[in-house]
Amino acid sequence: MSLKNLSVIIKIPNILKDKLKNKKISQIYKRFEKSVDLKERFIVAVSGGPDSLALAFLSKIYSIKKNLDTKFFIVDHKLRHGSTDEALKVKQILRKFKINVKILTWVGRKPNKNIQSIARIARYDLLFSKSRQLGINYILTGHQQGDLIENFFIRMLRGSGLKGLVSLDKKNKINDVNLLRPLLDEKREDLEFLSNFVFNFYVKDPSNNNEKFQRIKVRRFIKNLKINGLESNKFIKTLQNLKSSNEVVNFYVRENLNKNTHYLRNENKLILNKDFFLQPYEIVFRCLSNSIQMIGGKYYSVRGKKTENLINKLQNNQAFRVTLGGCIVEKVNQTVIIYEEY
């Protein structure tokens, strides 16, 4: 063993190093290390669930070995009684393992419907805001294989197209920030094992038993499918095939954006020429959605129905001006201009 590798191992605190000696955890870490492959600092999103605690442990080991400045954040949504105490408990437990977590609090009016969807948007808004503030271009989340399958069925129930069905990927670049999901090939039960073995703890979210949430209904539906023969490996293979088809569409999306738009960087303004809208509908839809997301600086896309309505208006010859996704979209003659709303 080289002196350099030996010094890295010595740097890892014993409380972490001892857990890494477990064969199963060591194998998970090796896959994680290969999946992340980062040489610059990053943010880790922690929730207190087994997936995110596993992510925190693996990220801490990785950051020590690669000598990277890594930031850990947990979002307190304040949606239920005791959420702040829960966040503080997670922070306290992780501190014992030399993992310093800071709490970000969602301040503002809380929703009465679409709670999980709106909370997810608020969570990412806080994380992306922090990444911009710190000048960090990578955010890691704890999504795992089960989330990949759940996301497919949830999107299918919403009537999503190809892009929506395969939207959960290992890497998404949103403006200048890269959202990484390095545990997407890991099984939920393996991450639960890791969290129990390392921390002897993880938060059990009561909403996981509440069937008023669509995700929980879908989770139980998938469980029944598995009992009746659904094989995860074959399902993942199907998703991979769909992703390949999606990449073909993405190629033409990039072509249309390159040929038929002009970006004014100093003004953060995008100009679309008339040929932009002469492509197949799916290409126009994705290009317009991507353009609004880029100019508006949002991590999430505008709802599909709103984008559809906008396309219908733009096919008119009449001039108009509308606000959408943090942008102003204005049609002047045969040209469409998208710029940031202030």
Asked if residue 119 has pLDDT above 70, the reply is yes
| Residue at which a domain ends, from 230, 265, 283 | 230
Residue 215 covered by a domain? yes
In this structure, the answer to whether residues 276 and 191 fall within a common structural domain is no
Q: To the nearest whole percent, how much of the chain has pLDDT over 90?
A: 58
In this structure, the answer to whether residues 133 and 193 fall within a common structural domain is yes
Residue 56 covered by a domain? yes
In this structure, the answer to whether residues 7 and 53 fall within a common structural domain is yes
Indicate which CATH number applies to the domain containing 306: 3.30.465
More confident residue, 210 or 26: 26
Q: To the nearest whole percent, how much of the chain has pLDDT over 70?
A: 95
Give the single-character DSSP code of 70.
E
Indicate which CATH number applies to the domain containing 110: 3.40.50.620
Residue 236 covered by a domain? no
Helix, strand, or coil (residue 149): helix
Asked if residue 330 has pLDDT above 60, the reply is yes
Asked if residue 82 has pLDDT above 90, the reply is no
In this structure, the answer to whether residues 156 and 17 fall within a common structural domain is yes
Residue 244 covered by a domain? no
- What's the whole-number mean pLDDT along residues 39-48? 94
| Pair of tokens at residue 163 | 């892009």
In this structure, the answer to whether residues 206 and 315 fall within a common structural domain is no
In this structure, the answer to whether residues 151 and 221 fall within a common structural domain is yes
Bridge-partner residues for 239, per DSSP?
none
Asked if residue 111 has pLDDT above 60, the reply is yes
Residue 237 covered by a domain? no
Q: Which pTM was predicted?
A: 0.82
In this structure, the answer to whether residues 152 and 255 fall within a common structural domain is no
Confidence (pLDDT) at 342: 82
Structure confidence by residue, pLDDT tens digits, 203-236: 877 666 666 777 788 888 888 888 877 788 888 8
In this structure, the answer to whether residues 197 and 51 fall within a common structural domain is yes
In this structure, the answer to whether residues 269 and 225 fall within a common structural domain is no
| Residue at which a domain ends, from 230, 259, 280 | 230
In this structure, the answer to whether residues 11 and 56 fall within a common structural domain is yes
Cross-sheet strand order for the sheet of 335-340: 261-264, 269-272, 335-340, 327-332, 320-324
- What's the whole-number mean pLDDT along residues 68-93? 92
Beta strands in 107-157 (DSSP E): 138-140
Q: Which domain, by its residues, includes 302?
A: 249-340
The tally of domains found in the chain comes to 2
Asked if residue 130 has pLDDT above 60, the reply is yes
Residue 243 covered by a domain? no
- What's the whole-number mean pLDDT along residues 179-199? 95
Beta strands in 82-170 (DSSP E): 101-105, 138-140
Confidence (pLDDT) at 191: 96
Tokens 């129990």 belong to residue: 196
Burial of 194: CB neighbours in 10 Å, binned 0-12, 13-18, 19+ = buried
In this structure, the answer to whether residues 192 and 256 fall within a common structural domain is no
Residues 6+ apart with CB under 8 A from 97: 13, 15, 16, 57, 60, 198, 199
Residue 74 and residue 47: Cα distance in Å, rounded? 6
Question: Which letter, b or e, does each residue of 262-273 get, where b requires 16 or more Cβ atoms within 10 Å of its Cβ?
Answer: eeeeeeebbbbe
| Residue at which a domain ends, from 198, 230, 262 | 230
In this structure, the answer to whether residues 66 and 113 fall within a common structural domain is yes
Residue 326 covered by a domain? yes
Residue 242 covered by a domain? no
> What number of CA atoms fall less than 13 Å from residue 12's CA on the CB side?
21
Confidence (pLDDT) at 207: 66
Least confident of 69-73, 91-95, 156-160: 156-160
